[in-house]
């Protein structure tokens, strides 16, 4: 099954049939279920434009160093090669590094999603 994906033989496969996704499949060469899940999560305008997708691919293939930012984050970021892909990772990181409660982590996640500067400033104070 992974060979079919790596060869981009995905015509008529939901979410995997676009030309861009086929190109990404060939670059990424997924060999784990986690790679496929992350690839689907990253195939969005923001991550594509920011270089996150290239970072993910390059780190997976050893062309770029994997950086977990802090030793305590390795278990949270290992499956995504140090790239923060999921909202759940943001919440875990805020709990580990910022000492947030689960509820507080969810408030941070919402503030980030809404991109409200005043809300983000409040959370920044908690980290300093």
Q: Taking a C-beta distance cutoff of 8 angstroms, is the pair 79, 38 a contact?
A: yes
Please tell me the distance from the alpha carbon of residue 49 to that of residue 66, in angstroms, as a whole number: 20
Mean pLDDT of 84-88: 96
Reported pTM: 0.88
Summarised one tens digit per residue, pLDDT across range 89-108 is: 999 999 999 999 999 999 99
* pLDDT at residue 87, as a whole number: 94
Mean pLDDT of 4-29: 96
Residue 1 has pLDDT above 90, yes or no: no
* pLDDT at residue 7, as a whole number: 96
* pLDDT at residue 70, as a whole number: 96
Residues 6+ apart with CB under 8 A from 103: none
Residue 127 has pLDDT above 80, yes or no: no
* pLDDT at residue 65, as a whole number: 98
Summarised one tens digit per residue, pLDDT across range 107-117 is: 999 998 888 88
* pLDDT at residue 78, as a whole number: 98
Please tell me the distance from the alpha carbon of residue 15 to that of residue 13, in angstroms, as a whole number: 6
Pairwise pLDDT comparison (118 vs 49), residue with the higher score: 49
């Amino acid at each position: 099954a992974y060979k079919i994906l790596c060869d981009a033989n995905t015509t008529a496969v939901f979410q995997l049939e676009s030309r861009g996704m086929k190109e990404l499949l060939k670059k990424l060469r997924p060999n784990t279920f986690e790679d496929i899940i992350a690839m689907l999560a990253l195939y969005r305008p923001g991550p594509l434009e920011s270089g996150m997708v290239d970072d993910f691919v390059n780190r997976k293939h050893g062309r770029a160093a994997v950086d977990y930012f802090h030793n305590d984050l390795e278990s949270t970021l290992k499956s995504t090669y140090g790239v923060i892909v999921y909202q759940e990772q943001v919440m875990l990181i805020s709990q580990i590094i910022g000492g947030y409660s689960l509820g507080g982590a969810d408030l941070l996640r919402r503030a980030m999603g809404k991109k409200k500067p005043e809300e983000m400033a409040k959370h920044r104070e908690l980290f300093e």
